[in-house]
């Protein structure tokens, strides 16, 4: 290990409190990847080794790292305007971005509220739903419905929606009112899951502000994939009971599942749609919550009906310039079509891994492939980290979700790199299983 690397790791271990990381174990045992640079689908460490980025930098870099057009857009914007608020002011970048986003959004989403990241995009959706009902004749609607295994981010508000038990437990007793219903994913047949949500929403619709879900793929709980039919059924249920449907497309949006928005698999439009990650181009924190005209108009009238909310960086010019260039690249380079063309390779590779010893179950959709390892479910299980170590030795970065090993690479990964990534996954899983 080089001197420079040791110095950075020592400082890191002295000072940095890492996200989602048991720090005693990290400090005692983990030899972190020290990323010095990145390009496209590759990360480079300080010792000059390279690694395929199997999770697009925590799902953010859908267009890969340091896309030359995004870097250029950022630099151009930095020369003219780095910050402007949207408080009684506006700027070209935010206005053009909002227009471009509505052009590609599911039907009926006409207004854009900017915030910083995925968590705040969902937080905004929750507050909009609560305030809408409070001032539009249904003040008893204060509860949310979310799915078991759901993940919607980090703020205290959205933590209430989360269905991963270990993330919620420390905050028991102080979370907003949320009912969790069975997840429709995988072996839990979606019809049965739908019966449960149907019963609860019909019975308690006077108290329910919104149903919040990750359309088609529950990411953080282990890339759990479910049927579009469930989404359609929930949309109809929400229409019948006049309850809002919030689609958290922070992970699934921007082509990850083979269409621009995962909602489109079910042919549905939500009342509120949250986007971040791919939307940001992985350059600056940037997020948006899209709403219908009905919701927007529910905040008009007297001044106390306005939405008193706004982050200091909401719609910031640098992030907006990059996000606009992201949309241009999607259109000109046909990024989503590229996902559809390559998805079958991921599906095939993961289906074939089902036969490896130690693998319980596999699944894939679009640019996501996942497998469950034996040895217990749950976020704190250990076998996934052994696969991570094996993959790192072979030149890929594969952060697991407990015992779920998955790939969600940059959407622009080349065919050659994708095949390499998939073969590293296979070899690494096989190495752990036979050890």
Ligand X SMILES: *Cc1c(COP(=O)(O)O)cnc(C)c1O
Residues that bind ligand X (CB under 6 A): 117-119, 122, 151-154, 214, 219-220, 248, 250-251, 276
Alpha-carbon dihedral 376, 250, 182, 382, rounded to 10 degrees: 10
Nearest to 289 by CA among 272, 303, 304: 272
Give the separation between CA 389 and CA 114, rounded to whole angstroms: 38
* Least distance (Å) between residue 200 CB and ligand X: 22
Nearer to ligand X, 52 or 150 (CB): 150
The three-point CA angle 370-263-157 to 5° equals: 80
Contact 271, 245 (CB under 8 A): yes
Nearer to ligand X, 117 or 148 (CB): 117
The three-point CA angle 230-235-239 to 5° equals: 145
Q: 117: alpha, beta or left, given left = phi > 0 and alpha = psi -120 to 50?
A: beta
* Least distance (Å) between residue 220 CB and ligand X: 6
Nearer to ligand X, 219 or 410 (CB): 219
Cβ atoms within 10 A of the Cβ of 145, count? Answer: 24
* Least distance (Å) between residue 112 CB and ligand X: 17
* Least distance (Å) between residue 158 CB and ligand X: 7
The two structure tokens encoding residue 231: 């989404």
* Least distance (Å) between residue 287 CB and ligand X: 7
Give the separation between CA 110 and CA 115, rounded to whole angstroms: 17
* Least distance (Å) between residue 280 CB and ligand X: 8
* Sequence-ordered alpha helix ranges (H) in 35-164: 56-59, 68-80, 92-104, 118-135, 156-159
Q: Which residues of 188-227 are buried (b: 16+ CB within 10 A; e: fewer)?
A: bebeebbebbbebbeebbeebbbbbbbbbbbbbbbbbbbb
* Least distance (Å) between residue 323 CB and ligand X: 14
Nearer to ligand X, 97 or 424 (CB): 97
Nearer to ligand X, 52 or 273 (CB): 273
* Least distance (Å) between residue 214 CB and ligand X: 5
Residues with Cβ within 8 Å of residue 146, at least 6 apart in sequence: 152, 161, 162, 163, 178, 179, 180, 181, 211, 212, 213
Nearer to ligand X, 45 or 113 (CB): 113
Nearer to ligand X, 74 or 284 (CB): 284
Nearer to ligand X, 149 or 219 (CB): 219
Nearer to ligand X, 149 or 358 (CB): 149
**Residue 355 main-chain phi, psi, to 5 deg:** -85, -10
* Least distance (Å) between residue 371 CB and ligand X: 19
Give the separation between CA 71 and CA 235, rounded to whole angstroms: 39
Give the separation between CA 279 and CA 101, rounded to whole angstroms: 9
* Least distance (Å) between residue 32 CB and ligand X: 20
Side-chain-facing half-sphere of 395: CA atoms under 13 Å: 12
Task: Give the CB-nearest residue to ligand X.
Answer: 118
Nearer to ligand X, 311 or 394 (CB): 311
């Amino acid at each position: 290990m080089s001197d420079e690397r040791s110095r950075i790791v020592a400082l890191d271990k002295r000072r940095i409190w890492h996200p989602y990381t048991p720090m005693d174990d990290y400090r005692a045992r983990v030899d972190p990847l020290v990323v010095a640079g990145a390009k496209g689908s590759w990360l480079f460490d300080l010792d000059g080794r390279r690694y395929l980025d199997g999770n697009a930098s925590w799902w953010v870099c859908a267009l890969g790292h340091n896309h030359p057009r995004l870097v250029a857009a950022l630099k151009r914007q930095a020369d003219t305007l780095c910050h402007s608020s949207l408080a009684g002011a506006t700027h070209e970048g935010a206005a053009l971005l909002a227009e471009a986003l509505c052009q590609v959004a599911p039907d009926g989403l006409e207004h854009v509220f900017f915030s910083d990241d995925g968590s705040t995009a969902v937080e905004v959706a929750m507050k909009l739903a609560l305030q809408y009902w409070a001032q539009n004749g249904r003040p008893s609607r204060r509860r949310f419905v979310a799915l078991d295994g759901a993940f919607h981010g980090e703020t205290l508000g959205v933590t209430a929606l989360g269905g991963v038990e270990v993330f919620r437990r420390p905050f028991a007793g102080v979370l907003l009112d949320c009912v969790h219903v069975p997840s429709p994913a995988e072996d839990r047949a979606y019809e049965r899951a739908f019966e449960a949500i149907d019963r609860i929403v019909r019975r308690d619709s006077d108290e329910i502000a919104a149903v919040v879900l990750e359309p088609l793929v529950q990411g953080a709980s282990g890339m759990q994939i479910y049927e579009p039919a469930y989404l359609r059924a929930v949309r109809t249920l929400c229409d019948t009971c006049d309850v809002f449907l919030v689609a958290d497309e922070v992970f699934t949006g921007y082509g990850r599942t083979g269409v621009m928005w995962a909602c489109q698999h079910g042919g549905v439009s939500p009342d509120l749609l949250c986007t971040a990650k791919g939307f940001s181009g992985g350059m600056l924190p940037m997020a948006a919550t899209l709403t219908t005209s009905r919701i927007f108009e529910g905040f008009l009238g007297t001044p106390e009906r306005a939405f008193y909310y706004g982050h200091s960086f909401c719609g910031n010019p640098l992030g907006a310039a990059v996000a606009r260039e992201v949309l241009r690249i999607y259109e000109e380079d046909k990024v989503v079509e590229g996902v559809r063309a390559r998805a079958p390779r991921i599906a095939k590779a993961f289906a074939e891994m089902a036969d490896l010893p130690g693998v319980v179950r596999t699944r894939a959709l679009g640019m996501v492939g996942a497998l469950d390892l034996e040895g217990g479910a749950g976020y704190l299980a250990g076998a996934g980290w052994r696969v991570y170590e094996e993959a790192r030795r072979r030149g890929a970065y594969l952060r697991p979700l407990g015992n779920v090993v998955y790939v969600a690479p940059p959407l622009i990964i080349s065919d050659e790199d994708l095949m390499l990534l998939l073969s590293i996954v296979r070899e690494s899983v096989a190495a752990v299983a036979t050890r």
